[in-house]
């Protein structure tokens, strides 16, 4: 269940509330008797490591590229094209 907290309470107890958020708790922030925002833990995006990801399929079809190391960085290549 989501807890409700006023902006004034948030300012007064910020450290305690942030500690609770780090543990996974979510708060509805109330301002002038209205919910104006939600405060909760950040949802991190996980990289797509599925086998059907296009890069994984390409590497399966072309294993010689799995260990390929470019000799020049992308920045160097762009500079060469611009010159």
Domain regions of the chain by residue span: 3-39
Average pLDDT over residues 6-31: 94
The C-alpha atoms of residue 66 and residue 70 are separated, in whole angstroms, by 12
The per-residue pLDDT for 44 is 74
The per-residue pLDDT for 78 is 86
| 3-class DSSP state of 29 | strand
* 3-39 topology per CATH: YefM-like fold (3.40.1620)
Pair type for strands 27-31 and 34-39: antiparallel
The per-residue pLDDT for 16 is 95
Summarize pLDDT for 21-76 with one digit per residue, the tens.
Answer: 999 999 999 999 999 999 999 887 666 566 677 877 887 888 877 777 778 888 88
């Amino acid at each position: 269940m989501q807890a409700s907290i006023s902006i004034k309470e948030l300012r007064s107890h910020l450290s305690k509330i942030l500690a609770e958020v780090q543990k996974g708790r979510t708060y509805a922030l109330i301002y002038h008797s209205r919910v104006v925002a939600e405060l909760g833990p950040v949802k991190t995006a996980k990289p797509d490591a599925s086998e059907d990801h296009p890069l994984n399929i390409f590497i399966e079809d072309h294993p010689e590229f799995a260990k390929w190391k470019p000799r020049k960085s992308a920045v160097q290549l762009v500079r060469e094209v611009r010159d």
